[in-house]
Amino acid sequence: MLPTLCSHSTAGFFGPSLWRWSGVGLLSLGVTLGAAAQTSARAVPKVTASAVPVQPLSDAEQAVASAVHVGALPCELGQTVHLHPDQAAPGHFHLQTRTHRFHLRPVLTSTGAVRLEDAAQGAVWIQLSNKSMLMHQKLGRRLADECKSPMQQAVAEHLKHNPVPHLLDVAQAPRSN
């Protein structure tokens, strides 16, 4: 039998049966759990055509889809997002990262930003003039940021050298009559 390896509160979490195992059993459990965590972290969820109901797009949604930048988009932290049109469903897109795959459809916005969503998995792709980002609503975090097509890279460089005035600066500027 092993002596108690941690405080009482942690032992309650693992249960009393865990502490009855041999040292070898605990070691192999740790190796097994570690391998399972690494395997699940690398697993890429597959999206099949039958799992994604394709609904026809409106003319406005088709217009949004025509503005999407596609291809291999480099992002910050060495990530790359691969965004390609779905040949079987015009106006829809397949997005793949190192660990995720999504089937996206355009969504209308009031701001003019390009927004693509996979409602079933909770993914949102936002495309602005100078960058794009991938967010996961169910996880509550960004999966990729600062993703840029060549056109977005050019806009970002232009904005770096010619910044847009802040909204409050413009509102406080004296008017010329």
Prediction pTM value: 0.66
Q: What is the pLDDT of residue 25?
A: 41
Question: What is the rounded distance in angstroms from the CA atom of residue 82 to the CA atom of residue 44?
Answer: 14
* Structural domain boundaries in the chain: 8-42, 49-161
Secondary structure, 3-state, 78-89: HCEEEEEECCCC
Q: What is the pLDDT of residue 176?
A: 67
Per-residue pLDDT of 121-174, as tens digits, reads 999 999 999 999 999 999 999 999 999 999 999 999 999 999 988 888 766 666
Q: What is the pLDDT of residue 171?
A: 64
Q: What is the pLDDT of residue 168?
A: 83
CB 81 within 8 A of CB 96: yes
Q: Flag whether pLDDT at 91 surpasses 90.
A: yes
Question: What is the rounded distance in angstroms from the CA atom of residue 154 to the CA atom of residue 159?
Answer: 9
Per-residue pLDDT of 5-34, as tens digits, reads 444 444 443 344 333 333 434 333 343 344
Q: Flag whether pLDDT at 80 surpasses 90.
A: yes
Average pLDDT, the chain: 78
Domain covering 49-161 assigned CATH 2.40.128.50 in the classification: yes
